[in-house]
Amino acid sequence: MNPFSSGTRLRDMIRAIRACKTAAEERAVVRKECAAIRTSMNENDQDYRHRNLAKLMFIHMLGYPTHFGQMECLKLIASAGFPEKRIGYLGLMLLLDERQEVLMLVTNSLKQDLNHSNQYIVGLALCALGNICSAEMARDLAPEVERLLQFRDPNVRKKAALCTIRIIKKVPDLSENFINPAAALLKEKHHGVLITGIQLCTDLCKVSPEALEFLRKKHTDGLVKTLRDAVNSPYTPEYDISGIADPFLHIRLLKLLRVLGQGDADASDAMNDILAQVATKTESNKNAGNAILYECVETIMSIEDNGGLRVLAINILGRFLSNRDNNIRYVALNMLMKAITVDAQAVQRHRATILECVKDSDASIQKRALELVYVLVNETNVKPLTKELIDYLEVSDQEFKGELTAKICSIIEKFSPEKNWYIDQMLKVLNKAGNFVKDEVWHALIAVISSASDLHGYTVRALYKAFQTSSEQESLVRVAVWCIGEYGDMLVNNVGMLDIEDPITVTESDTVDVVKIAIKHHALDLTTKAMALIALLKLSSRFPSCSERIKDIIVQHKGSFVLELQQRSLEFNSIIEKHQNIRSALVERMPILDDGTFSTRRAGSLPAAASTSSGASLNLPNGVAKPSAAPLVDLLDLSDDLPAPSSSGGDFLQDLLGIDLSPAPTQSGIGQIQKAGTDVLLDLLSIGTPVQSSSPTTDILSSSQNGKSPIATLDALSSPSSLSAQATSSARAVPMMDLLDGFGPSPLKPEDNGSVYPPLVAFQSSSLRITFNFSKQPGNPQTTLIQATFINLTPNVFTDFIFQAAVPKFLQLHLDPASSNILPASGNGSITQNLRVTNSQHGKLKLQENTIPAPLISSEVHSSYTKSISTETAFYDGDL
Amino acid sequence: MGIRFILMVNKQGQTRLAQYYEWLTLEERRALEGEIVRKCLARNDQQCSFVEHRNYKIVYRRYASLFFLVGVDNDENELAILEFIHLLVETMDRHFGNVCELDIMFHLEKAHFMLEEMVMNGCIVETSKSNILSPIQLMDKTS
């Protein structure tokens, strides 16, 4: 034996550790001790086993690894003496967990000890089993524990009850065996057994519906009586806490009653009286009494409705809320959160107090109160509540600001009654806590601003003013820069003044200053600077007089170390210098974003669709050659999306702003093209999924036509009879449609002359069905004759029905006049129209697959949009 | 189960007793204890005794230089836990006679035995001080 170290007594070791001045010293002492303990263990030193384990427990508590002591625990447990067993079991509980395989070795010792003649040893084994039992141990030892539930000594019974909880949680199937013994514990007089028995029954009810049913039927009255006895019991010094006999027992009883009363009117009825008694008679000037009241309120709120009791409960909460003690206020807020589902009106009454709690100095109370306020907001109180919260935003703690901002933004988005108010409030939030605002929030704000065309001038002026005071708030700067880029002219000319505004004088140069400050600001990041560059480019066209100055600012970034900024700087500079003639077209104002669509997309609810914009290939000013066979994805056409709309909201705007630093839009375009070209070859693609009627989505294009004739886009029909078709139906509420999904492999086979092709439903929505019948003239395989049949499925007559179609360049399309332009309602008739499609590259399919251009939309209705869209697109695409 | 862990920590933030009722690795424990202690010890007397941390609710109470921290589930009765902490301190007081940090340090296993008699698997077993202490006194007598 090593006399040098393992001789240190526990006491000395603790002293040595306490005397350590630094963490390094402590580590050294612990390392030395651990080494000594290991040596001692290797020598199988019986005398010091106990002490070694005690030391290990201390070392473990300090947070050092002690796994090497696990086997020692098992040895101590297996020894005969009580003190050894005691420390062994304690070590077992502290140092081991149920996942370790060593634990399997202990099952046998546990079994022996559970059957031991000494009740204290039985108690030890039960305690250990209750703390660390695994599923296998539960199965092996459940019969022992079940027997011990009826043991003569109450101290064993209570431990067996808690041990059972662990067992039924590990193996719920075993719960059946325990229902009767558990119910028997409810009649006990011993507080310890009673409290554990009640706990066991509560847990049984959670895992087993039969147990719940059984206890509800047979024991509700008994438990009510037990609670009554507990409430009325005379003074018992052993269990008394500040004048109340065993508040823990009260609380456990109330918890079990809650489980039994939930969803059962009879059981709830049976406990009404006693709950009323507890709620009115319990003393509320001590913590113990309040704990009981708190539990009682929760039970009243959870069981089946009884108006009178609920009033009582809400009153107690009201008292709690006005209590000076912060603990009591905290639990009151906690409880009101649950009460709100039961009686929102009553909670609303305390709104003012709750709002005060948001401003409390205590972070826990603030957090609770804020969550409560958040659920209290509705259409009627949103304005005053938002005002309060925004006012508070200014003075709140830094740590709290993030959460507060998120909640305020969410409230504003959810309940805003009008756009003007929404914009005002968001600007206030950006102004005060712009650095805490999430990206989605300011993206959404831009969508709203864009769609509120009458407020453009007002917004840009407000942002200009806000920028003067809060240029540190990043998201404010971003929104301001974007708006100035788009609507800078309105700022200078005071266009669209609202009555509430004071006119301001801003020169063109002032406007450029704002963007310049943003781009120069050291604290602002890449995205902001990239946005600022775009804004500058836009301003250069809007303010010809400042063009030179803007050019200078842009040029300063051509040496930027950030590729993105450098590239933008160079390309923009080239646009300003060399391409004056197309500049104004390039930087036209962005088309209006539809915020409704935006938010739908943000929720990710719009199904994936594919369509592409006019492929009129533009020669990009920056000289990036654009593959002519890859028409650009139309960034604005909302139907245009990658087939992964999950987080598309943010991306979409990113794309739109051209600030997404990845080439996603381009890729998406190519991806879709290939898809259209290959996979979906024969599909009369993409009219798809009519948007769910519950959320009528108006897309940009249709809204621009006063909602009269939204567009259904039939896309590509490639392959031997490639064809793109576009249908303009006059169905009133038909939103964006997309044909793409749902087509299996093509029913059309590239056979030779004169074959018969099965008809194809080219488009089907709730309002319109289009069927195509195909035929080919013998000896003329490159020409496909298509007879389109249109059937109106709505109860309204479609008038002025026009079908339009477009095809890729290598196809020729001849459209015959339609049989009529009035489509009778409810399928009572149809219109037919013949199309003749000639494929100039018939027979070259294999070669074509990857290069077949995606179908093009070319409709007069939105040609003006496609123009600006495609210029934007081309621009950003090249840029990216 | 209600109680997830019980910690006793001194003013300097050193752990003096730790009992977990769910398994956490050593690293997780150290991190958790560090975070909780920082959060709780920074609070003043006027602030409430409850702190939300991760998915726990910490109920804590200070006795002289020692903090008692109990981590519970979210649906546990916080006021009752507060009362339980007091009961724990009273029980230790009765055994050690004016319990202090050193008593717990040098009699760590006894403190654990007491705790074992009071809480098992996160549930309260016994609330009577004499029932809690009788096995410990018995053991003291025999040894």
Q: Which of A248, A290, A325 to mutate to test binding with chain B, by most B CBs within 10 Å of its CB?
A: A248
Judged against a pLDDT cut of 60, whether residue A280 lies above it is answered with: yes
Higher pLDDT, B48 or A852: B48
Please indicate whether, in this complex, the C-beta atoms of A159 and B125 are within 8 angstroms of each other: yes
Residue B142 lies in a domain: no
Token readout for A289 is: 């009494």
CA-nearest residue to B21 within chain A is A131
Question: With contacts defined as CB-CB under 8 Å, which chain B residues touch A327?
Answer: 48-50, 78-79, 82
3-state secondary structure A431-477: HHHHHHCCHHHHHHHHHHHHHCHHHHHHHHHHHHHHHHHCCCCHHHH
CA distances for A420 relative to A423, A458, A481, A784, B4, angstroms: 5, 9, 19, 55, 50
Which pLDDT band holds residue A453 (cuts at 50, 70, 90)?
A: confident
Residue A212 lies in a domain: no
Non-local (6+) Cβ contacts of A54 within 8 A are A10, A87, B108, B109
CB-CB neighbours of A363 under 10 Å: 18
What percent of chain A shows pLDDT beyond 70?
Answer: 76
Candidates B20, B77, B89, partner chain A, best to mutate (most A CBs within 10 A): B77
pLDDT, tens digit, for every residue of B88-129?
999 999 999 888 888 998 888 899 999 999 999 899 999 898
Number of domains composing chain A = 1
- Asked, for residue A836, whether it belongs to a domain, the answer is yes
Range with the poorest average pLDDT among A364-378, A722-736, B109-123 = A722-736
* A20, A29 contact by CB (below 8 A): yes
Which chain A residues contact residue B113 at CB under 8 A?
86, 90
Q: Are A744 and A832 in contact (CB under 8 A)?
A: no
Positions of E strands within A585-708: none
Least confident of A191-195, A340-344, B54-58: A340-344
Query: d(Cα B24, Cα B38) in Å, to the nearest integer?
Result: 19
Residue A472, domain member (yes or no): no
Is the full-model pTM beyond 0.90?
Answer: no
Is residue A500 scored above 90 in pLDDT?
Answer: no
Which of A57, A61, A98 is the best residue to mutate to test the B interface, defined by the most B CB atoms within 10 Å of its own CB?
Answer: A61
Q: Chain B residue with minimal CA distance to A86?
A: B113
- Predicted confidence (pLDDT) at residue A423 exceeds the cutoff of 50: yes
Question: What CATH number does residue B91 fall under?
Answer: 3.30.450.60
**Section A32-38 average pLDDT:** 89
Facing B105 at nearest CB: one of A14, A158, A192: A14
The CA distances from residue A684 to A677, A751, A775, A854, in Å, are 12, 18, 16, 12
Task: Point out the residue among B79, B106, B120 whose CB comes nearest to the CB of A159.
Answer: B120
- pLDDT (average), residues A824-831: 80
Which residues have C-beta within 8 Å of that of residue A343, sequence separation ≥ 6?
A: A310, A314
In angstroms, the CA A137 to CA A167 distance is 9
- A680, part of any domain: yes
In this prediction, residue A847 has a pLDDT band, given cuts at 50, 70 and 90, of very low
Is the predicted pLDDT of residue A691 greater than 70, yes or no? no
Chain B residues whose beta carbon lies within 8 Å of the beta carbon of residue A258: none
CB half-sphere exposure, A876, CA atoms < 13 A: 32
Q: Which of B63, B126, B125, B133 is nearest to B95 (CA)?
A: B133
Of A166, A192, A248, the CB nearest to B80: A248
Mean pLDDT of B8-30: 90
Q: Do A166 and B80 touch (CB under 8 A)?
A: no
**pLDDT tens digits, one per residue of A51-109:** 888 888 899 988 888 888 888 888 888 888 888 888 899 988 888 766 667 788 888 88
| Separation of alpha carbons A245 and A319, rounded Å | 23
Residue A726 domain boundaries: 595-867
Q: Hey, of A59, A162, A168, A259, which one would you mutate to test binding to chain B, going by the most B CBs within 10 A of its CB?
A: A162
Shortest distance, CA A432 to any CA of chain B (angstroms):
27
* Yes or no, beta carbons of A127 and B21 under 8 Å apart: no
Q: Are A806 and A831 in contact (CB under 8 A)?
A: no
B109 to A87: CB separation less than 8 angstroms, yes or no: yes
- Whether B143 maps to a domain, the answer reads no
Pairwise pLDDT comparison (A655 vs A339), residue with the higher score: A339
pLDDT 10s digits, A791-803: 888 888 887 878 7
**How would residue A253 be classed by pLDDT, with cut points 50, 70 and 90?**
very high
Which residues on A lie below 8 Å from B30 (Cβ)? Answer: 63
> Within a domain: residue B95?
yes
Say how far residue B119 (Cα) sits from the centre of its chain.
10
Question: Does residue A588 fall inside a structural domain?
Answer: no
The answer to whether A90 contacts B79, with C-beta atoms less than 8 Å apart, is: no
Q: Is residue A815 part of a domain?
A: yes
- Strand, coil or helix: A341: coil
Q: Which two tokens stand for residue A711?
A: 């567009």
Cα B36 to chain centroid distance, Å, stands at: 13
Task: Enumerate the residues of chain B whose CB falls inside 8 A of the CB of residue A120.
Answer: 135, 138
- The DSSP 8-state label assigned to residue A663 in this structure reads -
Hey, are the CB atoms on B112 and A83 less than 8 Å from each other? no
Q: How far apart are CA A797 and CA A418, in angstroms?
A: 35
Tell me the three state secondary structure of residue B15: strand
Place of tokens 């038909």: A734
> Rounded distance, CA A801 to CA A795, Å?
15
pLDDT at A832: 85
Task: Report the phi/psi class of residue A719: left, alpha or beta, with left for phi > 0 and alpha for psi in -120 to 50.
Answer: left
Query: In this structure, is residue A754 part of a structural domain?
Result: yes
Query: Could you please report the per-residue DSSP string of A216-242?
Result: HHHHHHHHHHHHHHHHH----TTTEET
What is the C-alpha radius of gyration for chain B, rounded to an integer number of angstroms? 15
Domain count, chain B: 1
Alpha helices in A49-149 (DSSP H): 49-62, 70-78, 82-95, 102-114, 119-132, 135-148
- Residues of B within 8 A of A287 (CB-CB) are 79, 82-83
Q: Write down the pLDDT at residue A603.
A: 63
DSSP structural state of residue A723: B
Cβ contact A676:A610 at 8 Å? yes
Residue of A nearest to B121 (CA): A131
**Is residue B27 one of the residues assigned to a domain?**
yes
Residue B86 φ then ψ, to 5°: -65, -40
Nearest CA-CA partner of A666 in A640, A684, A639: A640
Which CATH number do you get for residue A863?
A: 2.60.40.1230
Between A585 and A880, whose confidence is greater? A585
Q: Are strands B119-120 and A830-839 parallel, antiparallel or unpaired?
A: unpaired
Cα of A281 to nearest chain B Cα, Å = 18
